[in-house]
Homo-oligomer: A and B are copies of this chain.
């Protein structure tokens, strides 16, 4: 059985071996750059783990799994344009390092490089796998649209927020687990269970990520705490606080959100005070735990021997900040 570390190495190797049309090398430089600045390779690793549940032959899954990573990075390049983000993983974003046009175009070609990867899925399951991927790809775009729409709304419900992160983040993790399982030979029931496992894992992960903005260890997380608060980013905590707030608390929250000029520390302090009164940290942590427990329950039902599931359990725990 492959460990998370083994699989990450396999994925990184496959990324280095991707083939490019080299006729206009400027097109590929940003692609190679964004793919080289790494991260956890969560989506392909998840796919390969799901494959490895059912088969020791994971080779056939490596290229399609790499397609998931290429697609994910395509969305990062374009999302960074839309968010005016200058930095990602402590390095300049593509549109900052090059320019807007280059980020649009090099992002675009990544969508088709991802396709190339999926076209290398074994013929016996190519159509099934490609359909799962493509449905998720469209949903990720829908999620990004909802994210843009929500940034302009004063109030959104926590249900709306959860649906947005489900589309923007969770469905691709879900599709990754499902795709890996299909290539590994899972039947429809098991691959659907793995889809739901990935979906719940993704929801837990995103809520956890929102929490880390405030309660994360700066040394581990690498960001200044409260960045989301300073930028008025809609998070699970903020939308929940706005829903639960008393008239007085809502007034303070809206005042803080409306400030054009402010001392960042004061704003972060005032909003966290309200979160604390409303018990938002616990509510969020409990919801993340609920999702992760559902994920484990679904994984339990998958018809593979328990010891094969160890790596998926470990990665799920690490994603929500539990030590292995």
Q: Using CB atoms and an 8 Å cutoff, list the residues of chain A in contact with chain B.
A: 21, 23-24, 26-27, 78, 81-82, 100-102, 104-105, 107-109, 111-113, 115-116, 119, 123, 126-127, 130-131, 134, 137-139, 141-142, 144-146, 148-149, 167
Return 23 A-B CB contacts under 8 Å, by A number.
A23-B146, A24-B145, A24-B146, A26-B145, A26-B148, A26-B149, A27-B145, A78-B104, A78-B105, A82-B101, A105-B145, A105-B148, A107-B108, A108-B108, A109-B138, A111-B112, A115-B130, A115-B134, A115-B137, A116-B138, A119-B130, A119-B131, A123-B127
| Bound-state Cα–Cα, A27 to B142, Å | 7
| Bound-state Cα–Cα, A273 to B100, Å | 37
Shortest Cβ gap from A47 to chain B (Å): 19
Chain B residues within 8 Å of A108, by CB: 78, 107-108, 111, 141
Which B residue's beta carbon lies closest to that of A20? B138
* Option from B81, B105, B126, B146 in Cβ contact (under 8 Å) with A101: B81
* Option from B123, B138, B139 in Cβ contact (under 8 Å) with A113: B138
| Bound-state Cα–Cα, A109 to B136, Å | 11
| Bound-state Cα–Cα, A134 to B130, Å | 13
Chain B residues within 8 Å of A131, by CB: 119
Which B residue's beta carbon lies closest to that of A71? B112
Contact A119 B134 (CB under 8 A): yes
Contact B104 A81 (CB under 8 A): yes
| Bound-state Cα–Cα, A148 to B192, Å | 45
Known: A101-B81, A104-B81. A116 touches B134 (CB 8 A): yes
Known: A26-B149, A138-B21. A144 touches B105 (CB 8 A): yes
Contact B26 A109 (CB under 8 A): no
Which B residue's beta carbon lies closest to that of A103? B104
| Bound-state Cα–Cα, A116 to B81, Å | 26
* Option from B21, B27, B111, B149 in Cβ contact (under 8 Å) with A24: B149
Chain B residues within 8 Å of A119, by CB: 127, 130-131, 134
Which B residue's beta carbon lies closest to that of A84? B101
| Bound-state Cα–Cα, A131 to B116, Å | 8
Chain B residues within 8 Å of A111, by CB: 108, 111-112
Chain B residues within 8 Å of A142, by CB: 21, 23-24, 27, 109
Chain B residues within 8 Å of A24, by CB: 142, 145-146, 149
Shortest Cβ gap from A31 to chain B (Å): 10
| Bound-state Cα–Cα, A121 to B170, Å | 29
Q: A100, A112, A127 — which one has the most chain B CB atoms within 10 A of its CB? A: A112
Contact B123 A137 (CB under 8 A): no
Chain B residues within 8 Å of A112, by CB: 111, 134, 137-138, 141
